[in-house]
Amino acid sequence: MAATLLRIHPENPPQNRILQVVEVLRKGGLIIYPTDTVYGIGCDINNTKAVEKLCRIKGIKPEKADLSFICHDLSHISDYAHGITTPTFKVLKKALPGPFTFIFEASPNAPRYGGVKRKTVGIRVPDNQIVRQIVKEFGTPIVSTSVRESEETLEEYVTDPDLIFEKYRSLVDLVIDGGFGGNIPSTIVDCTNDDFDLVRQGLGDIEQYL
């Protein structure tokens, strides 16, 4: 079945449309949504079948997938990430919501994909009202991976929701049009050693929060 294209106002997302997206997630569906950087593909982090479907779209094995989780705020993070010290948490409070992916040791609660226990987990709290309201209403983080032009060209992202819809309409259940997306991904920061090691420089500048 072809996907639905749902237009949602980025600044003031209507509750009925947010609930429409949440219903898709609860049924194990895949959604494409805007963030504060590039558009992402996501699903319920606890729905193994949905995660496997997402991995097939991306051409990756679930047990090897470096999938990030999108949280509504910092309160969810300690459920899935282990060993967050007070100084690290203070930096997170300043930097989030924002265009960062923070990598931590995975807690025992982090879901297993492909039957493999995760060693690390990437956490996102994007500065985007649409996806944060979806996650808040859903009550559980969603898996996040970026929408690329092709998986071979790692740095090219599709920014036009209509083009994203044309490309993915037969692969996902719902595409949100929240306006044009960016083409610079999030900055990835590794916090597993209680430090802030830059893995990928993206839109966010972590130095201004340290």
CATH code at position 84: 3.90.870.10
Tell me which residue of 134, 125, 114 sits closest to 176, measured CA to CA: 134
Q: What is the mean pLDDT of the chain?
A: 93
CA 45/CA 37 separation, integer angstroms: 21
Which pairing describes strands 174-177 and 4-7: parallel, antiparallel, or unpaired?
parallel
pLDDT of residue 152: 57
The structural domain count of the chain equals 1
Give the mean pLDDT of 50-71.
92
Q: Per residue in 135-155, is it b (16+ CB within 10 Å) or e — as a string?
A: beebebbbbbbbbbeeeeeee
Q: 126 lies in which domain range?
A: 4-208
DSSP alpha helix (H) spans, the chain:
15-26, 48-58, 77-80, 86-95, 129-138, 161-168
**Tokens 């493999």 found at:** 116
CA 101/CA 123 separation, integer angstroms: 5
CA 97/CA 184 separation, integer angstroms: 16
Residues in the chain: 210
CA 39/CA 35 separation, integer angstroms: 6
CA 135/CA 149 separation, integer angstroms: 25
pLDDT tens profile 157-178: 889 999 999 999 999 999 999 9
pLDDT tens profile 109-161: 899 888 888 899 999 999 999 999 999 999 999 999 999 866 555 557 889 99
**Tokens 């979806």 found at:** 134
The model's pTM is: 0.94
Looking at the predicted structure, is the pLDDT value of residue 196 above 90?
yes
Percentage of residues in the chain with pLDDT exceeding 70?
Answer: 96
Looking at the predicted structure, is the pLDDT value of residue 85 above 60?
yes
